[in-house]
Amino acid sequence: MIDNIQVGKTIARLRQNKNMTQQQLAAALSVSHQAVSKWETGAALPDVQTLVALTRLFGITIEQLLEGEVLEDRVEPPKPASPFDEPIQNIGNFVNNIVDSVGSIFRSDRKDAGDDGARDAEPVKPVQEGGEGESDGQEASEAQQEAEPFDVQTLLQMAPFMTKAAVDELLLENRDKLTPADIARFAPFASQECLEKLIQTNDEQLDWDALRKVAPFLKREMVDNLARAAAKGGRTVKRAVDQSGINTDELGRTMQDVGQKIGAGVEKALRKASKLGGEMMEEMSSAINDIVEGVKEKQSRAEALRRAACERALQDENWEWLADHVADIKDEELLREIAQKANSLGMHDWVLEHLNGYADTRTIDAAIEAGNWGWLGDHVWQFEDELQEKIARAAAKQENWQWLATYAEQISLENCADEIAIAAYKAEARVLATQIATHCASDAQREKLADVAVEAGDFDYFEQLVDILSPAYIGRVLVAAAQAGEWERVKRFAEHADADSIAKLMELAIAEGNFDAIDALDKYL
């Protein structure tokens, strides 16, 4: 099966190779940055349309993306052809067929139209403003070469670390020096408004490749306009694709706009383009399904071979080889076997390093059982809160108060602070109990510890806790003491009680005629 985590790591690597943030990749694919984050963490996979968009953006095949077989330095060119590459090439061929077929219709229709069509069919040479002909164009070119060069590559390297406003400013200042290919490279780092202005400056040079690369960063309406402009130049047509396939209404409007300029043949072009578009989407869907099935079969075979190799390495105790290949193992049962054997040999550090978080529970159990508290202290901060609490409970059970005194404030005790503090108190480790109650416990957990001290009649220890107990809780304890006739305790801690409790205590003192208590409480009313 497809490994979500491996696919996510591949997407993250490719994004970083292009110096893109998650937000920039999300903008390029018209998805939320949360979606990109889910892909990269393995929580979800992109849908089919997004997979195609990713392969185009990064210049790889779907097979490479799903299998994670992408070199660290890969940015654009895919690896040599494989059995899975042909369907993807077919997809590209169908896209090109739409352009070529419609373009050939345009060209044949222009030839029928006479001299005007013949002139349109000839390559258009850019003419510098203010001059005509080859001589003037050559002079303008020489003048441009003498001007100070605009360092596109340097700016491209700096763009990921600049604000969009700064990138926009530099690009617009040098708009006349940018080619459509340059604009496409800067697209992830510039604003939509800037890209529109740059493209308007270079619209005469617009071609299908440039439009395809820059389209994800533009508004839908702008892409429509650019496609129409490119079509008018005989270079491309706009393909508006929604979730259900080809939007023939959009394509029809594009063709109608072209027809106003080139005359006859528009209806024929529309019918052919629509037909080719439908066939292309069917072929694309079939090709992608074939790729996914092929990848699944290939991965299943690869995983079986990897398992066999790992089992042999485990049998031979070849830990060095296992360290290099354990990341490729997806079989939980095999991972468990490796962890158990490593733990049985006391290789807790190896398990933590090479199995990452997978075997933490088993590693901790083995370390606790072996009494390896030094190792636990060195690594406890790396574990999840639940595992930290498990270690703390184990330390309390073994009465390892010194270890808890050292690490209690560094780990999570959210769900067991009262349990451990009470155990420490009962074991006469009262300094530790107070430490945990002060720094790790909630109000409710502190009250549970205080209840134990009160039940034991240990008001000397209770006095150590009064500063971290709530006045309302102290008041309830004193009311209970007064009802039991223990007025000396009431007078001892009355200053820490809340006003309502003081009033209740005064009522009890008056009812008993205890004027000594009345005088003591009066100053706290």
Bridge partners (DSSP) listed for residue 241 = 246
Separation between Cα atoms, residue 211 and residue 191, nearest integer Å? 16
DSSP for 352-389, please give it.
HHHSTTTTHHHHHHHHHHTT-HHHHHHHGGGS-HHHHH
- Cα 188 from chain centroid? 18
Helix (H) or strand (E) holding 428: none
Separation between Cα atoms, residue 114 and residue 120, nearest integer Å? 10
The rounded average pLDDT for each run of 10 residues, N- to C-terminus, in the chain (525 residues) is 80 85 83 82 82 83 76 44 45 46 44 43 41 45 48 75 83 84 81 81 65 73 66 42 39 46 47 54 64 68 78 90 82 81 80 65 81 85 84 94 90 92 94 93 95 94 94 95 94 94 94 93 88
Q: Which of 29, 97, 94 is nearest to 282 (CA)?
A: 94
* 481: its two tokens: 């003491």
What pLDDT was estimated at residue 81?
43
Q: What's the pLDDT tens digit per position in 398-456?
A: 999 999 999 988 888 999 999 999 999 999 999 999 999 999 999 999 999 999 999 99
286 phi/psi in degrees, rounded to 5: -65, -40
Q: Length of the chain in residues, anyone?
A: 525
Domains annotated for the chain, with CATH where assigned, are: 4-80 (1.10.260.40), 164-218 (no CATH)
Is residue 274 within 8 A of residue 266, CB to CB? The reply is no
Percentage of the chain exceeding pLDDT 70: 66
Is residue 206 within 8 A of residue 230, CB to CB? The reply is yes
**CA separation, residue 521 to residues 13, 477, 515, 517, 525 (Å):** 71, 15, 10, 6, 7
What pLDDT was estimated at residue 418?
95
Q: What's the pLDDT tens digit per position in 457-497?
A: 999 999 999 999 999 999 999 999 999 999 999 999 999 99
What pLDDT was estimated at residue 231?
58
Is residue 465 within 8 A of residue 454, CB to CB? The reply is no
- Cα 175 from chain centroid? 34
Mean pLDDT of the chain: 74
Q: Which of 124, 99, 119, 105 is nearest to 263 (CA)?
A: 105
What's the per-residue H, E or C state across 231-272? HHCCCCCCCCEECCEECHHHHHHHHHHHHHHHCCCHHHHHHH
What pLDDT was estimated at residue 347?
82
What pLDDT was estimated at residue 362?
72
What pLDDT was estimated at residue 255?
44
* 3-state SS, residue 179: coil
Is residue 192 within 8 A of residue 217, CB to CB? The reply is yes
What pLDDT was estimated at residue 506?
94
The pTM (predicted TM-score) of the whole model is 0.40
Separation between Cα atoms, residue 493 and residue 505, nearest integer Å? 12
What pLDDT was estimated at residue 468?
94
Q: What's the pLDDT tens digit per position in 144-192?
A: 444 445 677 777 777 767 788 888 888 888 888 888 778 888 888 888 8
What pLDDT was estimated at residue 86?
46
* 68: its two tokens: 């994670």
Is residue 457 within 8 A of residue 465, CB to CB? The reply is no
